[in-house]
Structure 1
């Protein structure tokens, strides 16, 4: 009897990989290891509807609880993989159990980047990456409480919007000259900041955080200017770090995540990786990329499952993302790194427009605000070079 396929992680990519292995006809044993106590669930609502209490925990679940046993998928929750042993083709858990594998998939995702200032370990300082994180935050987030969000990226602004509607007094502090500086042009940044200001959220840009003040519990945020913002709660939203430690300690190649090829295969031919933790070669963008998005987690997991079974795979997607803030939906197709110019179309004042990004004359990305048609057209247009390349 052959060893099982072992999936390390129990998030979106892990669940999709298990589903796809069965869909591809794999009838062997599948073991999924998850260090949380929750069945695989979707994470985007954590900073949106779930945070605001508009969605229950059971609605976050990707599959009904009986799906996994009915499909012969052995999900072991509250179980952390602590060692990957490629020479022995085994995974060791925190309970000291060694699980042999025929193929292993690493889908360990990311964790919140630590806020690198004194006082970050005080009570009342939060990050949002898991259901339990949100539960703790909501328990402390009483109406009227002063919340300081450190980081003006997508997560920071999404939480600001929901916290504002929950009755909190919200201030966003961003070290860059504008919000969304790493992921959007000035037009989008200006619109996003204006949206927050219009709802009463204070936005401080080009402002660093020196320290968090308080004894046992946070009471304030001292800024790089020397000013101190009173704070009952602080949310750290300064990005994420891929969970590569298990792979690195096993000797797998690491390059901005676990390095995989277009077939989701790591430097060990029996070990694969998918989702937020994996970096892969993109022919479309001519470089290695790592994507933190639901669609990548789903699609790369499908590719990994097929590859694990010996199928021919050449994964090279058009990346796309979205962000909901108040009644505004921001959708992004492509990657805008290295853009040289932009073109804005539509009515910015009315909050329905798109921004096209170009490297020379080549379109590389489109950001759409309340304009789903431009988003879908952009995804098709950006995929065209891939289709032409395949045809050639």
Structure 2
């Protein structure tokens, strides 16, 4: 039973942490709620950093989770620009970078992830970028504007979601873009080669150049400024700027130093949590990009780095901290916008997990739904420029029943009929 004498500390000022704080108050928690953010900006949502805000369609203020006065009105103690540097589980304390020590009854770790760095010469040159924080997006938006104005060239290391969304934004500004990707298609590790080819064609139609089967080995420059990017097959790509978009790593240093159970990197990394998002310490929970929970639908431990997981995981962890019964088993979901293509993906079907891809609709017109199946069961579905079908797709995934592939591919057969 929780009461006004208790203190709940949330470490991590992203969407998961902000929504957890909001949920604690909505659920009637009367104690102290302390939200620790290592950035100086109040909590914000990250999708716009590579989508609407980066393209110039959305204003900067649109990214924030709450208006500035919301935290004071709801008695949320906000520590901005203060990293948590030490966790003492026995004493139930968190120490901040300025020496402040916070005592907690329950603790939520929503520390997120950080961009993986390019381990090549030249990354210290002016013009090498990452995209994870609002400050990164502020800078990159200026860079893309200048590249478009001056017919400049951006080289992107990595053909994942961030790499492709930035490529689309850059082309919208008029910049020249080359994407260097080690796999044979973009999004290969997420969508497999079948759908990866679709996105290669989409970006090719918009003037993006791909260099597949290669990795960056170095970035050269003059007077401290980028001039070119080099790949392991001996190619040189002229560049005014380089974006490292080679994935993100969960920020587990605080948890690791405190002795919490972690997941091996080869299995996705992150802080190991149970179905209620509780860590190996009964008073500590984890949510968002940093949490790795066993998912009953896919019978594997998953760490999901997407907006919906933060949006839903933060509140789930907050309810568990309050003693509510929580079983966090949401179907993984994410969305992307690139040029005139919008998509939603539900499920989990990495290459090797599926044995069939079924297409419903017209790939050429980029208006279709793709389904990934294993032994006739839907593992994942992606709707591209087709809307209001996410619920049906997720119900197909949850049902775990075998479906007729011909009916699945037939646009005249209602998805609901396959659940009957």
1:246 aligns with 2:254: yes
Q: Which residue is equivalent to 1:390?
A: none
How far, CA to CA, are the matches of 2:7 and 2:227 in structure 1? 51
How far, CA to CA, are the matches of 1:89 and 1:385 in structure 2? 42
3-state secondary structure, aligned to 2:280: coil
1:236 aligns with 2:244: yes
Superposition pairs of residues 1-392 of structure 1, within 5 angstroms: 2-141=5-144, 142=146, 143=148, 144-215=151-222, 216-255=224-263, 256-337=269-350, 338-384=353-399
How far, CA to CA, are the matches of 2:140 and 2:331 in structure 1? 34
Report the CA distance between 1:102 and its aligned residue: 0.7
Unaligned ranges ≥5, structure 1: 387-392
TM-score by length of 2: 0.90
Report the CA distance between 1:330 and its aligned residue: 2.1
3-state secondary structure, aligned to 2:210: strand
3-state secondary structure, aligned to 1:380: helix
How far, CA to CA, are the matches of 2:399 and 2:66 in structure 1? 33
Report the CA distance between 1:166 and its aligned residue: 0.7
How far, CA to CA, are the matches of 2:336 and 2:58 in structure 1? 17
Report the CA distance between 1:65 and its aligned residue: 1.0
Cα deviation, 1:266-298, whole Å, max 9, x if unaligned, reads: 111111110000000111111111111111112
How far, CA to CA, are the matches of 1:112 and 1:362 in structure 2? 34
How far, CA to CA, are the matches of 1:254 and 1:36 in structure 2? 25
TM-score by length of 1: 0.96
How far, CA to CA, are the matches of 1:270 and 1:11 in structure 2? 21
Report the CA distance between 1:385 and its aligned residue: 5.2
Cα deviation, 1:50-107, whole Å, max 9, x if unaligned, reads: 1122212211111111111000101110111000110100000000111100111000
Residue pair 1:3, 1:100 contacting (<8 A) in 2 also? no
Bigger shift: residues 367-376 or 52-61? 367-376
Residue pair 1:2, 1:102 contacting (<8 A) in 2 also? no
How far, CA to CA, are the matches of 1:169 and 1:385 in structure 2? 45
How far, CA to CA, are the matches of 2:391 and 2:243 in structure 1? 33
Cα deviation, 1:231-269, whole Å, max 9, x if unaligned, reads: 100001000000000000000000120111111111111
Bigger shift: residues 81-90 or 328-337? 328-337
Bigger shift: residues 15-24 or 186-195? 186-195
Q: What is the root-mean-square deviation of aligned Cα atoms in Å?
A: 1.4
Report the CA distance between 1:11 and its aligned residue: 0.3
Report the CA distance between 1:187 and its aligned residue: 3.1
Seen in structure 2, the aligned counterparts of structure 1 residues 182 and 327 have a Cα distance that, compared at 3 Å, is same
Residue pair 1:112, 1:240 contacting (<8 A) in 2 also? yes
3-state secondary structure, aligned to 1:276: helix
Residue pair 2:228, 2:237 contacting (<8 A) in 1 also? yes
How far, CA to CA, are the matches of 1:172 and 1:53 in structure 2? 22
Unaligned ranges ≥5, structure 2: 264-268, 402-420
How far, CA to CA, are the matches of 2:316 and 2:83 in structure 1? 25
Q: Which residue is equivalent to 1:389?
A: none
